A and B are shown apart, each in its own frame.
Chain A
Amino acid sequence: SQQGEEDPQALSIQEGENATMNCSYKTSINNLQWYRQNSGRGLVHLILIRSNEREKHSGRLRVTLDTSKKSSSLLITASRAADTASYFCATPSGSARQLTFGSGTQLTVLP
Chain B
Amino acid sequence: KAGVTQTPRYLIKTRGQQVTLSCSPISGHRSVSWYQQTPGQGLQFLFEYFSETQRNKGNFPGRFSGRQFSNSRSEMNVSTLELGDSALYLCASIPENTGELFFGEGSRLTVL
Binding site for B on A (CB under 8 A): 2, 31, 33, 35, 40-45, 48, 88, 92-104
- List residues of chain A with CB within 8 A of the CB of B50: 97
A29 to chain B, nearest CB (A): 10
B45 and A92: CB pair below 8 A? no
- List residues of chain A with CB within 8 A of the CB of B35: 101
Chain B contact residues: helix, strand, loop or mixed: strand
| B81 interface residue per 8 A CB criterion | no
A48 and B43: CB pair below 8 A? no
A48 and B100: CB pair below 8 A? yes
- List residues of chain B with CB within 8 A of the CB of A2: 42
Binding site for A on B (CB under 8 A): 4, 6, 31, 33, 35, 42-43, 45, 48, 50, 55-56, 58, 88, 90, 92, 94, 98-106, 108
Query: Of the candidates B31, B98, B103, which one forms a contact with A44 in the assembled complex, judged by CB atoms under 8 Å apart?
Result: B103
- List residues of chain B with CB within 8 A of the CB of A48: 98-100
- List residues of chain A with CB within 8 A of the CB of B33: 97-98
- List residues of chain A with CB within 8 A of the CB of B58: 98
B106 and A88: CB pair below 8 A? no
Q: 6 pairs across A/B with beta carbons < 8 Å?
A: A42-B6, A43-B90, A95-B56, A97-B99, A98-B48, A101-B35
Residue of A nearest to B106 (CB): A42
- List residues of chain A with CB within 8 A of the CB of B102: 45
B48 and A33: CB pair below 8 A? no
Query: Of the candidates B42, B94, B105, which one forms a contact with A42 in the assembled complex, judged by CB atoms under 8 Å apart?
Result: B105
Contacts A40-B106, A44-B103 aside, 16 further interface pairs with beta carbons under 8 A come to A33-B100, A35-B103, A42-B90, A42-B103, A42-B106, A43-B92, A43-B101, A45-B100, A48-B99, A94-B56, A95-B55, A97-B55, A97-B94, A98-B33, A100-B45, A101-B42
A99 and B45: CB pair below 8 A? yes
Decide: A41 near B105, CB < 8 A? Known: A33-B99, A48-B100, A98-B33: yes
Residue of B nearest to A91 (CB): B99
B24 to chain A, nearest CB (A): 13
